[in-house]
Structure 1
Amino acid sequence: MSNITQTPCDKGVLSVTPPTASGRPPSGMWVLVATILGSSMAFIDGSVVNVALPVLQVDLNATAADVQWVVEAYLLLLASLVLLGGTLGDHFGRRRIFAIGIALFSLASVWCGLSPNIDSLILARAVQGIGAALLVPGSLAIISASFNTNQRGRAIGTWSGFTSITSAIGPVLGGGLVQYASWRWVFFLNVPLAAIVLVILFLHVPESRDETVRGGLDWRGALLATIGLGAIVYALIEAGSLGILHPLVLSILAIGVIIFVAFILLEARIPNPMIPLTLFRSSSFSGANLLTLLLYAAMNGITFYLPFNLIQVQGYPPTLAGLALLPFVLIMFSLSRWAGGLVDHYGARLPLVVGPVIAAIGFALFAVPGIGGTYWLTFFPAVLVMGLGMTITVAPLTTVVMGSVAERHAGIASGINNAVARTAGLLAIAVLGIVVVASFQNNLMSQLAHLPLPASVQQAIAAQGHKLAAIQLPGGINGEARMQIKQAIDEAFVASFRLAALICSILGLLGACCSWFMIQDTRKATTGKTGQKQQTSHEETIDK
């Protein structure tokens, strides 16, 4: 569920030079059908996979680090290549790149569904991430190329409404498939959607590209960003089992940092960088991106571990676990237009302080529930408050990003913010993994020390600490002893989940501080495009 919302500034791909289309004129209905179904593949996949993680972890005998990589491999390639994917569409044709992304995503989905082990699944998810990096920027870019200015707002609104539905039903659908069929069908679901999209694309959607694009592609930047982020994430995930001071962890982390610094230096020197660093001279732009990094790290971190709590500890069936965050999606859907209007009345800085503070309270509320109790009195208040805080934040955040740079840079600025949001989730899951695993193991050993268990049994359980709540109890343990061990495991996980929730709350508060000190409180700079943003605010708030 870590991808239940669209990242901010998804509609930034619309801020492009008017494209040149070739071939027959587009059929508006078919363009919308193709882009909605194509986007839905990524949105549904991003939300349903997390519901399947607790089940596939047991089925494939995976560790906590393994299931982290199931998400991280996808996010790593998507975050690193999404800007390049949009540029490829401008250069070589948006329909062509979108179609390649759809085909690659669907083939990787089949690979995921057929994976015999966790390593194969992780590699397939990485390929899925490459496909998503090609198709995610393409859907709205194709709409931009296919509709004139007067029609575009209505087209985006239609796209927004239908993709919000897929975002809402994604976790529920995934939970149902996991509960009544198999987690593998979560991935197979993409195949018929892909087939329909490809047929419509080549029969009814004309090609388009930006003929004004000059300069080459920043392949070196994309490669350095991918390798640098990959090394850093690998080191952080391995730190969960080896320890942060392990020589392998420190060496790979150092290599990742060096490569990422090389990426920054490259972007500062080449004529056509993937990320123009000069944009960060704007205090508001830098503050908005720092807020994005902190707030989306918090949201992705807490929602990554929530399904494990609900399914493995609280005993929720997967379908109900998928429903747990539905109020979040509904709040953002119903209040997004109202949130966009806050900028008109109060400017952007106040909502970007109040929203993260409310979201931080929501994150902290996840630390309240213990084991048991009805959903409405345990997790629902946290979901409700988190949803309200994120709703207040996202539309003004997008407004600041788009309004803090020159008009000609609006598209790349929003693309950068989109990539920052995805990178936030990538880093949050890796860093929180260290904290959660360490806290779980310490609490578990403390709990087991008070139980009258043979040393061999305690050692066998402790050796599986890297599996978190999915620990398999040794054979021969029955009756009350089995119940006590299961209770100890559950209590240890709840303690580690509470710590993660409090860390996420601190991140939210830090984001509010960044808004207060870095974002300029000038309505003129933040409301110039409010009307356009309100019209399309929902695609800025619902993802995956």
Structure 2
Amino acid sequence: MATENPRRWWALLVLATAQFMVIMDTSIIGVALPEMQRQLGFTPGGLQWVFNAYVIAFGGLLLLGGRLSDLLGARKVFTTGWIILIAGSVLAAAASTAWVEVLGRAVQGVGGALIAPAAMTLLMMLFGHNQKELGKAMALYGAAAPAGGTAGVFLGGVITEYLSWPWVFIVYIPIGLATLAATGLLPAVKGRRGSVDVVGAISVTAGLALIVYAIVAENLIAGAAGAALLVLFLIVQRMVKQPLMPLSIWRTPGLATANLAMALLGAAWIPMWYFLNLYLQQTLGYGAFASGAALLPMTVAVMIFMIGITARLLGRFGAKPLIVLGLAVLAAGVAGLSFARPDGSFAADVLPASLIAAVGMSLAYIPAMISAMSGAKPEEAGLASGIVNTTYQVGSAVGLAVMTAIATSQDELIDGFQGAFIGAAVVAGLGALLSVVLMRPPRAAVQDLDTVSV
């Protein structure tokens, strides 16, 4: 019988804080984007790299982070991830040019890719011996994600309005140092022998970055190079003895269709959130604080639905109906935002549609995650979870790149925003349609799942 760690609940607080901060890192920068654009000289098309640099590094290296956690020990990788995240925060805060800011965000993403899988490994070590405690621990750990997203929106507005945009990164430094000081609460984990698929990790991350660049810059050569690197990744996964992503995992029932739904969910939700931030500030003239406050109803709705409602509906109706309905509702909400006017108001043009979109996101997200993992063998559940995490990030990055290309192709700012919202609505609607056609009801449900950035 495994020995209980007497400090396990304090250790959980450290892990939940890490999850909170990693997720907050994707939302806290949203309301600061217009100010960063003005001060650092980002072009309208280049601004999306502040978000995508983090997402690409995080998503592209997530599977590598999980592998390193197994080989080197989860606590060591968790600690290293925080050191890298702090370094990236310092670089992003001190940036005086656009490219340095993007570099800092990418470094933050590398740190996040090490922290997230290591934290889940440590959580399983602390509570895996007791299913009742594990359920409570997973609920608390999982709640940290929507809480981080909500806090990021609000704090980003407060910090940008009353301090300045570099402080959205500076805030990570003291919290990171405090987390490093508390890593002694975490269990020491011995590593094991094995190889690291560095070529696979580099090829998939660089390939994704080039694809995103090609879409925004309309560069065919970059697109071809990115595609070639992604093909190389698949070849490497077939050839090496210990790949990051064994291709046999895709024979798991329901994995491919659930990942498709997650990719399209990210490709619709993240562009909507990104351009809604810009619409509030650049068209309606909101300040950073007012913009963050305007987004709070949407993010609070996501948190309430995910934690309190979706799980109950899932038990009653199953995953597929909720995924289809969620994507369809998201499409309706985002389509509603496309009617936003240049002289619009929050109450008429933003609040109703954004709340509808939030409900759709909340209905689809957890069921899609569970559907991706439900057919996996127990020993492959972690890999399936890592893949669906990565897929969501990839979908977010590519979706944002496509909608940015649509927005910047328009002459008027409001036309660009409306075009991006229409594009995101089409993506969500396509996701709902493909889920109806392709998805089959899972044979079993997975109760414990890893949480990804919303």
For residues 406-417 of structure 1, what are the structure 2 equivalents within 5 Å?
Answer: 406-417=377-388
The gaps in structure 2 that reach 5 residues or longer are none
Show the counterpart of 2:141. Answer: 159
Show the counterpart of 1:226. Answer: 205
For residues 370-385 of structure 1, what are the structure 2 equivalents within 5 Å?
Answer: 370-385=341-356
**Which of the residues 292, 309, 315 maps onto 1:344?**
315
AA of the residue aligned to 2:200: G
**Which of the residues 397, 420, 424 maps onto 1:500?**
420
Show the counterpart of 1:287. Answer: 257
**Which of the residues 82, 85, 88 maps onto 1:108?**
88
For residues 514-529 of structure 1, what are the structure 2 equivalents within 5 Å?
Answer: 514-522=434-442, 525-527=443-445, 529=446
Q: How far apart, in 2, do the equivalents of 1:162 and 1:303 lie? A: 19
Residue 305 of structure 1 deviates from its aligned partner by 1.5
Residue 210 of structure 1 deviates from its aligned partner by 6.6
Secondary structure at the residue paired with 1:65? coil
Show the counterpart of 2:358. Answer: 387
For residues 92-107 of structure 1, what are the structure 2 equivalents within 5 Å?
Answer: 92-107=72-87
Secondary structure at the residue paired with 2:174? helix
More off after superposition, 375-384 vs 264-273: 264-273
Inter-CA distance 31–504: structure 2 relative to 1 (3 Å threshold)? same
Show the counterpart of 1:470. Answer: none
Inter-CA distance 39–347: structure 2 relative to 1 (3 Å threshold)? closer
Matched, 1:58 2:38: yes
Inter-CA distance 348–205: structure 2 relative to 1 (3 Å threshold)? closer
Show the counterpart of 1:405. Answer: 376
CA RMSD between the two structures: 2.1
Residue 507 of structure 1 deviates from its aligned partner by 0.7
AA of the residue aligned to 1:198: L
Show the counterpart of 1:169. Answer: 151
Show the counterpart of 2:187. Answer: 206
Q: How far apart, in 2, do the equivalents of 1:376 and 1:506 lie? A: 24
Q: How far apart, in 1, do the equivalents of 2:156 and 2:310 lie? A: 29
Q: How far apart, in 2, do the equivalents of 1:301 and 1:495 lie? A: 15
Greater length-normalized contact order (CA 8 Å, ≥ 6 residues apart) = 1
For residues 357-368 of structure 1, what are the structure 2 equivalents within 5 Å?
Answer: 357-368=328-339
Residue 74 of structure 1 deviates from its aligned partner by 1.4
AA of the residue aligned to 2:177: A
Inter-CA distance 162–68: structure 2 relative to 1 (3 Å threshold)? closer
Residue 162 of structure 1 deviates from its aligned partner by 4.4
Residue 179 of structure 1 deviates from its aligned partner by 0.8
Kept after mapping to 2: 8 A contact 1:349/1:515: yes
Q: How far apart, in 2, do the equivalents of 1:320 and 1:311 lie? A: 9
Secondary structure at the residue paired with 1:402? helix
Inter-CA distance 526–398: structure 2 relative to 1 (3 Å threshold)? farther
Q: How far apart, in 2, do the equivalents of 1:435 and 1:162 lie? A: 34
Q: How far apart, in 1, do the equivalents of 2:295 and 2:133 lie? A: 33
TM-score, scaled to structure 1: 0.79
For residues 271-350 of structure 1, what are the structure 2 equivalents within 5 Å?
Answer: 271-282=241-252, 284-336=254-306, 337-350=308-321
Show the counterpart of 2:120. Answer: 140
Q: How far apart, in 2, do the equivalents of 1:520 and 1:415 lie? A: 21
Give the length in aligned residue pairs: 451
For residues 83-94 of structure 1, what are the structure 2 equivalents within 5 Å?
Answer: 83-94=63-74
Q: How far apart, in 2, do the equivalents of 1:216 and 1:517 lie? A: 40
Per-residue CA deviations over 1:276-322 (Å, capped at 9, x if unaligned) read 22222346211111111112101111111211111111111111211
Kept after mapping to 1: 8 A contact 2:122/2:187: no
**Which of the residues 408, 412, 420 maps onto 1:437?**
408
Kept after mapping to 1: 8 A contact 2:82/2:176: yes
AA of the residue aligned to 2:189: S
Matched, 1:187 2:158: no
Secondary structure at the residue paired with 1:324? helix
Q: How far apart, in 1, do the equivalents of 2:420 and 2:145 lie? A: 30
Residue 61 of structure 1 deviates from its aligned partner by 2.1
Show the counterpart of 2:196. Answer: 217
Residue 206 of structure 1 deviates from its aligned partner by 2.3
Q: How far apart, in 1, do the equivalents of 2:164 and 2:37 lie? A: 13
Kept after mapping to 2: 8 A contact 1:175/1:319: yes
Secondary structure at the residue paired with 1:208? coil
Kept after mapping to 2: 8 A contact 1:295/1:511: yes
AA of the residue aligned to 2:311: G
Q: How far apart, in 1, do the equivalents of 2:5 and 2:151 lie? A: 33
More off after superposition, 322-331 vs 408-417: 322-331
Q: How far apart, in 1, do the equivalents of 2:123 and 2:58 lie? A: 21
Kept after mapping to 1: 8 A contact 2:146/2:302: no
Show the counterpart of 1:41. Answer: 21
Q: How far apart, in 2, do the equivalents of 1:210 and 1:514 lie? A: 42
Per-residue CA deviations over 1:323-371 (Å, capped at 9, x if unaligned) read 2332232223222243223333223222221111111101101111202
Kept after mapping to 2: 8 A contact 1:57/1:63: yes
Per-residue CA deviations over 1:385-411 (Å, capped at 9, x if unaligned) read 111111111221122111122222111
Structure whose CA Rg is larger = 1
Q: How far apart, in 1, do the equivalents of 2:429 and 2:444 lie? A: 22
Q: How far apart, in 2, do the equivalents of 1:121 and 1:26 lie? A: 42
Residue 422 of structure 1 deviates from its aligned partner by 0.4
Residue 54 of structure 1 deviates from its aligned partner by 0.6
Show the counterpart of 1:478. Answer: none
